[in-house]
Amino acid sequence: MMNKEKKQSYISEMTTQFDKSEAVIVAHYQGLTVNQLDELRAKMREHGIIFKITKNRITKLALEKTRCKELSNLFTGPTAVALSQDAIASAKILTNFSKENKNLKILGGIMGNDILDVAGVKNVATLPTLDEARAKIVGILRSPAQKIASILLAPASKIAILALEKSKK
């Protein structure tokens, strides 16, 4: 049992975490073993994501004062919450883990100010991460430069052939 001071401390800690997190995803974990939970927490920790098993009644009190208050109806039963700055990474990890472990059930979440249902969380999981998106953009930007460089470095005969082909069009 928590005493009143511990409850107040828990509420203020959770309120702060809900407010500073860009993404909050709620899931049921009933049926997962301790080892499976530890494995999931380790994967989350690698990406700077907090995965916390919650005390529902007290967590609902913490939610009242945050932008996440619409999520309070999801806090029933054995509930855990993923709090992160990167919604895509947390959605991907939870979605992939729930595919491997059917006992983890994603209930919904919030990304920025948008409320997500289960399908919304799974859609977010299909998006490229920030690093993947940056890599794609760099690849797109480098592609024309590589083509120009290869043309300029080609022997004069290849440039003449290329010019002839372009003039025929």
| Per-residue model confidence as pLDDT tens digits over 21-74 | 888 999 999 888 999 999 999 999 998 999 999 888 888 888 887 888 888 888
Q: What 3-state DSSP class applies to 108?
A: strand
> Domain range holding 135?
131-168
Do residues 57 and 75 both lie within one domain? yes
* Domains in the chain, number: 2
Query: Which CATH number do you get for residue 79?
Result: 3.30.70.1730
C-beta of residue 55 within 8 angstroms of C-beta of residue 14: no
- What is the pLDDT, as a whole number, of residue 25? 92
Q: Which token pair is 56?
A: 């529902």
In Å, how far from its chain's centre is CA 142? 28
Do residues 42 and 110 both lie within one domain? yes
Do residues 49 and 84 both lie within one domain? yes
Percent over 90 (pLDDT), the chain: 18
Do residues 88 and 159 both lie within one domain? no
Do residues 30 and 51 both lie within one domain? yes
Interacting residues of 138 by C-beta distance below 8 A, sequence separation 6+: none
